[in-house]
Amino acid sequence: MFLTLQSCTDKQNSSTLEIVIRGTYAGKPLVFAPGVSYTYFDGSNISFTRSEFFISDIQLIDQNSHGLPVNGVYLCELQNHHISVSKAEEGYKIRIPVNYTGTFKGIRIGLGLPSELNNSKPSDYQSTNILSDGEHYWAGWNSYVFSKTEGQLSNSNKNVLFAYHTGFNEAFITKEILKPITLLPDQTGSINIEFDHERLFGTSADYTNIYENNIVHNGIDFMIKFMDQFKNAFN
Kindly provide the b/e burial profile for residues 89-121, where b requires at least 16 CB atoms within 10 angstroms of the residue's own CB. Answer: eebbebebebebbbbbbbbbbbbbbeeebbeee
Which domain does 13 fall in, by range?
2-232
Show pLDDT as tens, one digit a residue, over the chain (235 residues). 333 333 344 445 799 999 999 999 999 999 999 999 999 999 999 999 999 999 999 999 999 999 999 999 999 999 999 999 999 999 999 999 999 999 999 999 999 999 999 999 999 999 999 999 999 999 999 999 999 999 999 999 999 999 999 999 999 999 999 999 999 999 999 999 999 999 999 999 999 999 999 998 667 888 999 999 999 999 9
CB distance 67 to 178 below 8 Å: no
> What is the chain's length?
235
Q: How many domains does the chain have?
A: 1
Pick the closest to residue 20 from 193, 178, 219 (CA basis).
Answer: 193
Q: What is the pLDDT of residue 41?
A: 98
Distances (CA, A) of 8 to 60, 62, 65, 67, 109: 10, 6, 10, 11, 19
> If 0-12 CB within 10 Å is exposed, 13-18 middle and 19+ buried, where does residue 60 land?
buried
Residue 79 to residue 85: CA distance in whole angstroms: 12
pTM as predicted: 0.91
Q: What is the pLDDT of residue 3?
A: 35
Residue 204 to residue 11: CA distance in whole angstroms: 46
Residue 51 to residue 4: CA distance in whole angstroms: 39
